[in-house]
Structure 1
């Protein structure tokens, strides 16, 4: 197997990186991962959380709820397929610019064009079509970016490098909707500003990653074996991989079961007035953001120093489980603050080491982009399943049992992570 290491500031293509070949932490690549994560998440959240709903309301305010639901369903299907196809294509790419950098450039430029056009569309059909196109280009950034973490970071540094990626995600998550909110009166300009942030992922990849040519890697013959290996869900050496996927899915379900209904929890369960609700929503969002950014600085390096990845992930899931369960004890609004503290620290720590764990359980390092892309789909699945579970539980048993269901989902995640054998 070939390996990709850093010699000075220039990478020499040799496939994955061992501890012996990378004794020092690769700061340049880690900073590139943080910047790349920021570039895509800040634009995506600004668009999906603010600009897209605002544009839908401008086009067809009467049917906006149905349009949002239809658009979300279509985009999820497109994102799933794009993750697999683009990830596999990245793994198979043989170019003088490497395997990952060209695809990140394609995604950056394509996202720029897609977002600008989204600000100009005049019909629902055009909007849904262009949002689906944007999903393709967005995943052309995400899948190769995550694979760079697998290609270029030695196991002893992956916790810290994953923390760098999580730091970029945390800052981008905090700023995305804030930036989008500044352009509610001019969605066309808002989409253009977000597009300008996204396209920076291309230069970041070229300048910070300095990926070597992948032409020396043997090209794979297009046959049945190659297709099954690179374009289909893994079937060999994949037990721990699917446990990690399931664990992440149930973590996301636990998160979005509560977060997706936080407004209604405050108004219908805790019986707060509108002005009080707004204050608590802002406070919880701030606590979760600060905790996430703070844990991004410490969780990964601590995991590297301990030489353990599974234990920090289990502890993260435990903190999340405690956080989402606390409002069951009392309808006092203070419980939502405690939820934000526990869950914020838990998710911050989880995000900081999650990608390092994912890389450690990959079935085949040569198909890293495709397999990491599939793992990343647990985020989308959890975001959809969480609110659906919440709606079902509230209808059947009331708000209190919502918190039991969320905690139960976190417990299932703990069992999945604890069952992984390959990682300490």
Structure 2
């Protein structure tokens, strides 16, 4: 007859029996309370990579190029942008896939976040030191690789550690940091124009160095050693390093819908100064005044809506409707200058489009997570979805240039076209079936 276990030995066995390896996702039942720490970690992480990146890319990089070769600055910026786009695309997919496959005592995302922070720090210092165009291109492209070691794994943390019922709230917190980084980074970068460009790039490198450590300390990722290890096979390669090919209709609708909405806003933002001068007819002082007003409206409205939109999305149990409504607001905002070439129309654009983008930033990330074809590939697929952001940065100015060129230098046609582009993006998002 087998001896009965003592209460002490039974209690010792229970934890081992109930313990299970980390699966890479959390259900609603397993997470009754919202993981606020995950939201804070990803928000601070987003602010600390996006702010420095835009501070350099939009402000300090053009200023540095102008010093090195003022005659060819436009073509050099185009070369840097195009090269960076290629490297960012490849890095998003490859590093995202490798992050999904990482098995370590520190988890799947932590090693990449730390490596990305250190790599960005080193490459921005190198970028700051170089003084020739070829070395500018090389250091900037290598920086893109390390930057995407932050971007793809960081967003994947939300998919890994947040139950579906909390994703709107956590995406909203993430969006708060994202919006501050997007607008605040350029504002910070502008403070270092002139003889302090080098100091500004060093400051941005230090801020990026903080990104990974700050995020990982707050989120405390658990070990991934217990997760299934994948053997290298053709099917594994296709699953983790190639664009999705199965059960991915909604995934691509979200990708292209997001890209179109972002393209509509970046087209107007890229030509904002020229719209104020050539279409509205403002002088230098008027341009400075209204750029400040519009930028402040875009930032404030986006921040406010990024806070409230996510929880509302959770409460109404819908992702598509808020995102599509946000795209509609963007369409109305970018169409406003059609009404008149008076300066107030651009102010209304800033307010209405800012509201739309705030809602969009807050809820779109939750929508992206819920259209993923396979949760095991979260970092890789979310990295691909991030191409909607990087792609729109390239497409927006190209669309604007094509419209202005086709209409003989008139900016009027830009507004209805951008409105239609945003509405098409909304239509694509509403065609998604998997998400309510």
Q: What interval of TM-score do these two structures reach, taking the shorter chain for normalisation?
A: over 0.9
Pairs within 5 Å for 1:55-134: 55-134=64-143
Pairs within 5 Å for 1:298-313: 298-313=308-323
1:361-387 alpha-carbon deviations (Å, 9 max, x no partner): 001000010000001001111121122
**Cα distance in 1 for residues equivalent to 2:49 and 2:169:** 20
1:48-98 alpha-carbon deviations (Å, 9 max, x no partner): 012111211222222111110101000000000000000000000001100
1:210-267 alpha-carbon deviations (Å, 9 max, x no partner): 1111010111010101001110000101000000001001101111221111111111
**Cα distance in 2 for residues equivalent to 1:160 and 1:106:** 28
Pairs within 5 Å for 1:128-277: 128-184=137-193, 185-277=195-287
Deviation at 1:45, TM superposition (A): 0.8
Q: Which moved more, 1:181-190 or 1:233-242?
A: 181-190
Pairs within 5 Å for 1:274-313: 274-313=284-323
Deviation at 1:160, TM superposition (A): 0.8
Which residue does 2:435 correspond to in 1?
Answer: 423
**Cα distance in 2 for residues equivalent to 1:141 and 1:106:** 8
Which residue does 2:13 correspond to in 1?
Answer: none
**Cα distance in 1 for residues equivalent to 2:279 and 2:139:** 39
**Cα distance in 2 for residues equivalent to 1:392 and 1:203:** 43
**Cα distance in 1 for residues equivalent to 2:173 and 2:101:** 26
**Cα distance in 2 for residues equivalent to 1:125 and 1:280:** 37
Which residue does 1:413 correspond to in 2?
Answer: 425
**Cα distance in 2 for residues equivalent to 1:224 and 1:195:** 39
1:247-294 alpha-carbon deviations (Å, 9 max, x no partner): 001101111221111111111111111111110011000000001111
SS of equivalent residue, structure 1 residue 62: coil
Structure-2 change in CA distance of 1:384 and 1:217 (3 Å): same
**Cα distance in 2 for residues equivalent to 1:384 and 1:136:** 18
Deviation at 1:395, TM superposition (A): 2.0
Normalised to the residue count of structure 2, the TM-score between the two structures is 0.93
Whether the 8 Å contact between 1:108 and 1:137 is mirrored in structure 2 is yes
Larger Rg: 2
Deviation at 1:186, TM superposition (A): 2.2
Deviation at 1:201, TM superposition (A): 1.5
Whether the 8 Å contact between 1:116 and 1:188 is mirrored in structure 2 is no
**Cα distance in 2 for residues equivalent to 1:368 and 1:387:** 30
Q: Which moved more, 1:175-184 or 1:67-76?
A: 175-184
SS of equivalent residue, structure 1 residue 400: coil
**Cα distance in 2 for residues equivalent to 1:418 and 1:102:** 37
Deviation at 1:12, TM superposition (A): 7.7
From 383, 394, 399, the equivalent of 1:373 is 383
**Cα distance in 2 for residues equivalent to 1:258 and 1:179:** 22
Which residue does 2:12 correspond to in 1?
Answer: none
Normalised to the residue count of structure 1, the TM-score between the two structures is 0.96
Which residue does 1:7 correspond to in 2?
Answer: none
**Cα distance in 1 for residues equivalent to 2:401 and 2:81:** 18
Whether the 8 Å contact between 2:230 and 2:236 is mirrored in structure 1 is yes
Deviation at 1:31, TM superposition (A): 0.6
**Cα distance in 2 for residues equivalent to 1:324 and 1:181:** 26
Whether the 8 Å contact between 1:12 and 1:212 is mirrored in structure 2 is no
Whether the 8 Å contact between 1:320 and 1:343 is mirrored in structure 2 is yes
Pairs within 5 Å for 1:328-347: 328-347=338-357
Which residue does 1:391 correspond to in 2?
Answer: 401
Q: Does 1:18 align with 2:30?
A: no
Q: Which moved more, 1:78-87 or 1:253-262?
A: 253-262
